[in-house]
Structure 1
Amino acid sequence: MKSTLKDPEPLLETQWPADPVKPRKAGWGGLKRRLAPYGFVSPTVILMFVLMLVPIVMVIGYSFMNNVIMTKHPKFVGLDNYVTILTDSVFHTALANTLAFTFASVAAHIVLGLLFAMLLNSPLLGTRFKALFRAVYVLPWLFTVAIIAVLWRLLLDPNGVINFLLMNAGIIDSKIEWLSSPGTALFAVTFINIWAGYPFYMVSILAGLQGIPKDLYEAATVDGANNFQRFLHVTLPQLKPIIISMAMLDLIWTSQQFALIWMTTGGGPINVTEMLSTYTYKLAFSQYQFSLASAAAVVILLLSMILAFFYIRHQKARD
């Protein structure tokens, strides 16, 4: 007979809990990983500190002293330099000229940039004509400020091409000194700045136009909208963020324009084209009033910071 007894089961080994893994203490390797991002940005931070923060602090300090650099032991004079600047009639003229020059340039840049961008985006033009017009319209953007200043000084010379064409067309009877006459100098430099700056708007708005979905135009057409209504209710709302951003940047750039003014009129004649930038430059390097120039520079910095604040605020709202 077979035995009914089962073989005894093998004894299982006792399973003791494994020792818990102890976390390694963050050593030099962990510290390097944490400091690596700061190491990458440190060269930029150092450059900004040396080239921006230190000069700004020095200029602010100079603005509270009597004539620094020219005086061996300058003394603290408080807000006297600011009072002198803010009560100077030439400063008032420079501020008014800067405002007129800036707002006229920005407004014209927006209008011309939008018109030329829509022209280049129009299906009525062939590919070859679009390429030709793009090359012609973007040409002012390729020139440096020095080339632009020399070019327009030659064109606007009393014996230049502009007077020649206008006299032959019967528009004027005598030669006009566009950059030397108090009645036309500010208009002339504003026109030059408009001509030099509109391609930036044109290229940016053209990119925005090409990014607008065609479905929006098709839906507006189905709803019975004409060309003007499509432009008003589809194109402009889609381009609004781009236009506002560019306008704020242009306000900052144009209000600080120096090279074009200096190389065309030098702020003259009779302070007609004097800007805040040329006014500050003349205080420092023509009159050697470095403390007054520092005070004027601080005022310009505050005005620029106000514009920069609204620009950053708009960008955050847009994001």
Structure 2
Amino acid sequence: MSDHAALPKPQGSPLTLSILDLAFVYEGEAPAQSFKRSVQLAQNAEALGFSRVWYAEHHNMPRISSSAPAVLISHVGAHTSTIRLGSGGVMLPNHAPYTIAEQFGTLAELYPGRIDLGLGRAPGTDQTTLGRALRRDPRAADSFPQDVVELQQFLAGNSPIPGVQAVPGAGTNVPLYILGSSLFGATLAAKLGLPYAFASHFAPTHLEHAAKVYREEFTPSEALSEPYFIAAVNVTAADTMEQAQEDFTQVARASVKAMAGRGREMTEEQLDHLVDSYAGQQIISMLNYTAIGTAPDVAEYLERFAAMVNADELIVSLRSPNWDKALHGLDILGNAWK
């Protein structure tokens, strides 16, 4: 088990387990390879009984190729049969709600009963890309609550604009999920009566408070009668604890190099100094909630983690040094959870 967080004893029945696919691009390869892996990951997750796979909108990040979640979802949907697919999430202030209604309405028509629409208000990129490439007004995030409601209306066929319907989209009622890493998202999801997913896989600080606020302030809606809380968590699984710990060390070092070192080439000694720096330790602390170990270790950690915040579902980010180990980790996790 990871020693990153002291968790309470597990309670309750088994909960739903899903996957967050960041569509990593490894050094020296094209994004096309990551798309092939996303298909393989979803197919394996489907066979193992995972509930869903989500893809996150990111921009100008050389190692992440999920910049267009709707397109990637459509590609994966064509190669799978039953597993739910969705965004984790679409950064709604980057888009007109009407456009997203059309995109996910199209997906819902192509893959009925399998599409989710997770929504975030962060830009998913740096400020230069935000303003100059995406041409987004930084103040667009201020209208996120209104945009969520407008999107919901388009999908329900109750258009907020007279004479304008989302085609496809109207009447599909694609389920919406609010994503966040702060109390803002928790409060909004509770007010609108929508499911809430917390990004604790990289932003652990406010997890417990947000979960508490969401459940306490939840107002039932037509979409949801009771609160539904999803917590994200990292998993580094291997055949031995020693191997898992070594793999996590590599993952942590790679994260520091990518974020603090901006991916520049450096010697192992230089990377050691960066890892030990304040900035390096801050980056590693973002991975606070990580299950590390063998199948029993990981399963026990996830049960305790879920119990800590009374989660209805966990969405897992597989954190391994390479693709083969990530896929093996998925097998270990899937078989441990059966």
TM-score under structure 2 length normalisation: 0.19
Larger strand percent? 2
Larger helix proportion, structure 1 or 2? 1
Query: Larger relative contact order (C-alpha < 8 A, sep ≥ 6)?
Result: 1
